[in-house]
Amino acid sequence: MKWTYKITTMAMFCLVSLTIMAQTKKELTLEDLVYGGRTYTKYHPARLSGLRWKGDTAVWTKDGNSYALDARHMKLTSEPLPQTAKLSSKVSKTKLKPVFVNADKSALGMVAHTKDNNLYIDDLQLTNETAGIVCGQTVSRNEFGISKGTFWSPSGRYLAYYIKDERGVSQYPIVDITKRVAEVENVRYPMAGMTSEKIQVAIYDTETKKTVYLQTGEPTDKYYTNIAWGPQEENLYLIELNRDQNHSKLCRYAVADGSMQQVLIEETSDKYVEPQQPIQFLPWNNKQFIYQTRADGFNHLYIYDITGKLVKQLTKGNWLVQEVLGIDEKKKSIIIKSTEISPLQSNIYSVSVRSGKRTLIGEGKGVHFGLLSKSKQYIIDTFTAHDTPRKITVIDLYHPQKEQVILDAPDPQADCVQPEITVGTIKAADGVTDLYYRLTKPVNYNPNKKYPTVVYVYGGPHAQLVRDVYQWDADGRDIYMAEKGYVCFTLDSRGSSNRGLKFENVTFRHLGIEECKDQIKGVEFLKSLPYVDANRIGVHGWSFGGHMTTALMLRYPQIFKVGVAGGPVMDWSKYEVMYGERYMDTPESNPKGYEATNLVNLAGQLKGRLLLIHDDHDITVVPQHTLSFIKACVEARTYPDLLVYPNHPHNVRGKDRVHLTYKIVQYFDDHLK
């Protein structure tokens, strides 16, 4: 009895001690957890400011000092930052360097930039276009890997650039309410099946001062993407994609006169072809290049010659190459990021062009971001994993044992209340495919209690929510809601990224249908957990996730009690041409698909509480989606709620995001708890 008493007393003491310790840990606030919050940086993994290469020397700043690491000798030096000079009020502002829009600097130091619709090189105006024609800016709404509109040749002599004719594209009104009398700003917004922009590509010669235009025929609504220069600057390469996005051509053009010389590679699909990366020539062989394609189901590297003949497939397997970081001429190897170890990871490898052998660089866990030095012998490897907030290492690729850790960030939330976060798999609705989930338990979890649960969803292409990064990629909102007693759950359904083409395009021509079925499998898993209250399940998502949130509320009203849908696509026929037609075809060719996925038609099925949030300056998912759905709900006598964020584009950024997150959590507090 004495021994039993001692054990009981000790157990009680330990329990009280743990309770006291838990009470002394800080509970994080939205200002701590949400990007844009006043104290956000304090509670998120440390970074190195301005980290970059100068030749083979890594440089950065931290805590008032500038640092340099000579990678050749792994020698670190530091010195105090120079005092920032204040501009005298007597100095004319005209002496300040101008800030260019879409600035693109050449090897010769010339800067291509845009002003209004026109393109300039330094002070020289190259174009003089009218309203509706735009030069030197991105096209195709940044799809197909397009992120800019100008492309300098390696030597800096030539500048290739896009010309976009939007005159036939419908204008969408955006209202600026900051004026005393609100003003309308019209933006060009090509909706699925409607007239799209027409694209040309031009080349300017800085020596002859002449411009040639690629002879692609009359400007059409085809897509021209993945622009790349040939090594001798005699040719320009690009991929031409038809409007249906099921037939691509890698084409070679002559720089001298813009003539099309040869179609090197063609790809077709019964669904879609989605080129994302330009070709890259091998530095030691100007007659061979790297071509990336998902032809075998996963994005891999292929070597072709300049006649279009396949030399070899360089990488292969049920994993994908995510990025080519660079090419090492001395070692004749390609540095890549891939999912070879796990779909949840991004790891860096060196791939021998001769043998195809892959050598892992850095630690074999987590998600890595690599930056190669000028010589390509050294790499800055920044990585994070669920148990590693952030670690940055400079590695000698020729002597991997030579490395220098320049940041090993501690857990910034170590002294704070933290929920338990786990990751696992369940089967998709097809009964075969594994899907990854993230589960966040409430702080001070009690296995004898039943908790309300919120599913955070995206589900669409080009996104992955469950990754092996700090806190398993849980959003600050999840951590905050766990503090307030919620279970938080996220599932990457079929249709999301980094799992291969078959996994992604199962949703073709009926976006949101299969993804919802997978999310319901996630809910079935949740209901199997004894601590989940099956009568208090909510759902939240933004953009594609807003569509999914609304669809789940309407198609499964018996399951979801509360939803918060941000920037939701309600009707795919009102979404943009490039994305919409890739995954849905046109409304004319796929009327049944558009009808089945149009959530406006389901407005009468709303049973639970649904908050719709939209930004009035959203030119990605235009406000018409939410307003049309609200109108349908009024007619159907269903009763969603609405919150509008003025002067924000798609999603809410900056300090206002704290306000957004508060409103989301408050809505669940009011109607799910």
Residues belonging to the active site: 543, 618, 650
Picking from 203, 196, 199, the residue whose alpha carbon sits closest to that of residue 146 is 199
Give 181's contacts (C-beta < 8 A, 6+ positions apart). none
Q: How far is CA 127 from CA 114, 119, 161, 178, in A?
A: 10, 6, 11, 33
C-alpha distances (whole Å) from 213 to each of 93, 99, 255 are: 39, 29, 9
Supply the DSSP symbol for 209: T
- Taken in order 89, 90, 94, 96, the sign of the CA dihedral is negative
**CA-based end-to-end distance of the chain:** 44
Judge contact between 492 and 545, C-beta under 8 A.
Answer: no
Using CA atoms, how far apart are residues 625 and 572, in angstroms rounded to an integer?
A: 9
Task: Write the DSSP symbol of residue 129.
Answer: P
Are 507 and 495 contacting, i.e. CB atoms less than 8 angstroms apart?
yes
Residue 496 tokens read as: 């999301």
The CA distance from 317 to 358, in Å, is 12
Token reading at 129:
């276009």
**Chain-centre distance for alpha carbon 296:** 24
SS3 289: strand
Q: How many CB atoms lie within 10 A of CB 594?
A: 23
For residues 276 and 291, what is the distance between their CA atoms, to the nearest angstrom? Answer: 10
Q: What is the C-alpha separation between 558 and 481, in angstroms, rounded? A: 23
Q: What phi-psi label fits residue 373: left (phi over 0), alpha (psi between -120 and 50 degrees) or beta?
A: beta
For residue 308 the two structure tokens come to 């279009």
**Token pair listed for 344:** 């949840």
The Cα diameter of the chain in Å comes to 100
Dist CA 364 CA 366 (whole Å): 7
Cα torsion through 206, 208, 209, 211, rounded to 10: -100
Which tokens hold the place of 381? 């490897």
Are residues 38 and 31 in contact, defined by beta-carbon separation less than 8 angstroms?
yes
597 vs 617: CA distance, rounded Å: 25
Q: Which region, left, alpha or beta, applies to residue 258 given φ > 0 means left and ψ of -120 to 50 means alpha?
A: left
Helix axes 513-527, 544-555, angle to 10 degrees: 70
Burial of 515 (0-12, 13-18, 19+ CB in 10 A): buried
The separation between CA 477 and the C-alpha centre of its own chain, rounded to angstroms, equals 19
Helices 656-671 and 476-483: crossing angle in degrees, nearest 10, is 40
Q: How far apart are CA 121 and CA 156, in angstroms?
A: 12
Q: 73 by DSSP, 3-state: which?
A: coil
Rg value, the chain, Cα: 27
Place of tokens 């891939």: 338
